[in-house]
Amino acid sequence: MNEEKIPNHVAIILDGNRRWAREHKLPKLEGHRRGFENIRKLTNYIFSRGVKYLSVFAFSTENFKRTQDEVKYLMDMFVKEFKKEYISLHKDNIKVIFSGRKSGLRDDVLEAMEEISSLTKDNTGGVFNICLNYGGHAEIVDATKEIAKLVLDNKLSIDDITEEEFAKHLYQDLPPIDLMIRTSGEVRLSNFMLWQLSYAEMYFPDCHWPAFNESEFDKAIRAYNGRERRFGGNSK
């Protein structure tokens, strides 16, 4: 029997909170609350399966286009959860990091992010990357600006700009994504971790994020094990 392959880096687009709420005749904000609750429930399980890096798309740069009430609710929830529930991640030896632009985020959100990052910075049981005010295009643009400034300041030569060098200027030092999961049956990337997704296997379950549980994650792992990863080469 073949040994089960566990992806080193899993990324999840948490889609379908509002549709889940609508189907259950609940306010859409309750869908977000249930979705956030599900992050807490599943995170430890995912790491217990042997995953070393977990990235989740919590809030995109485009999400600021939503209603003021919805954005405020989400930001209030981030602050509450970062300061309370994610303490349990520290107890489980999980390091929490954030990817995204800090500009545009409220001061209390930034303070909560700094608090949990500082608390967990030395943990070694896995890396939980929360993408907040994040966009894949924005990340590439910001990395390009940083490199351009180094070149202008004569701290970096144009000839030294390689893929490896470029990757050093992304928001976080993360390995390539092995498995990307997007819930709710939507088959698109929505500007998520475009650089890191180059050779990822993709899995699109129909269930909405609040209904995505341990059993659904195990299905994703089985699907991943059924893929042949060639990275541009020939099949065996």
Q: Which residues are designated catalytic?
A: 15, 63
Rg (CA), the chain: 18
Residue 57 CB partners (closer than 8 Å, separation 6+): 11, 12, 13, 14, 131, 134, 190, 192, 193
Determine how many CB atoms are found less than 10 A away from the CB of residue 82: 24
Cα 90 → chain centroid: 18
Short-list 174, 173, 165, 130, CA closest to 146: 165
Short-list 11, 6, 3, CA closest to 203: 11
Fill in the amino acid letter for 51.
Answer: V
Measured between alpha carbons, how far is 104 from 171 in angstroms, rounded to an integer?
A: 16
Residue where the block lists tokens 């954005």: 71
Longest dimension (CA), the chain: 59
C-alpha distances in angstroms, 141 versus 11, 162, 195? 21, 16, 11
Beta strands in the chain (DSSP E): 9-13, 53-60, 95-99, 127-134, 179-182, 201-203
DSSP letter at 5?
A: P
